[in-house]
Amino acid sequence: MKRLAGILILMCVFLSANAQENIAFKFGYLSYEKALKSMPEYALTEQKMTELRSQYEAETRRVEDDFNRKYEEFLDGQREFPKTILEKRQMELQELLEKNIAFKHKSREELAKAEQEAFAPLRIRLIETVERIARERGFAFIVDTDAKALPYINPDMGEDINLLVQDALK
């Protein structure tokens, strides 16, 4: 949000400086997400991430099933266990539960990191493509319309570059 506010302030300063000097400028706008998803590599990367998520989900189910089975065994035998065995089994269940929780947290972190790493080359390529198009077309800046911070963009002053970017990325 701070970044968006900074961009808007910078745009206002730029616009007011240009208005005072009567200098015409152009800008482009696009949907960053739409451009990213239009890349041929996006579907393959998303498929790899789906497979990785499935592996983590399968392992999570496996450890949950293992815990549930052990817990049911504990409940079935708790009346018959001597106190020391009962306490030992309770500690084992507690440790298993803590390990399962730690695994879930770590897997979320690893999935987020894997997703960042997998999509980083696509994002870099998109940024480079947008930058190249902006220079070629003489744009002062490019606005990402996904944030919905600009409810109106005058098409006489700005140019929709969605198709240009999507074509360049293919």
Q: How many CA atoms lie within 13 A of 82 on its CB side?
A: 2
Six token digits for residue 67: 């815990």
Cβ proximity of 28 and 142 under 8 Å? yes
Q: Which residues pair with 28 in a beta bridge?
A: 142, 159
Other Cβ atoms less than 10 A from the Cβ of 164: the count is: 18
Please tell me the predicted confidence (pLDDT) of residue 153.
86
Cβ proximity of 142 and 161 under 8 Å? yes
Please tell me the predicted confidence (pLDDT) of residue 25.
79
pTM: 0.74
4-54 residue pLDDT tens = 555 555 555 555 555 555 567 789 999 999 999 999 999 999 999 999 999
Please tell me the predicted confidence (pLDDT) of residue 3.
58
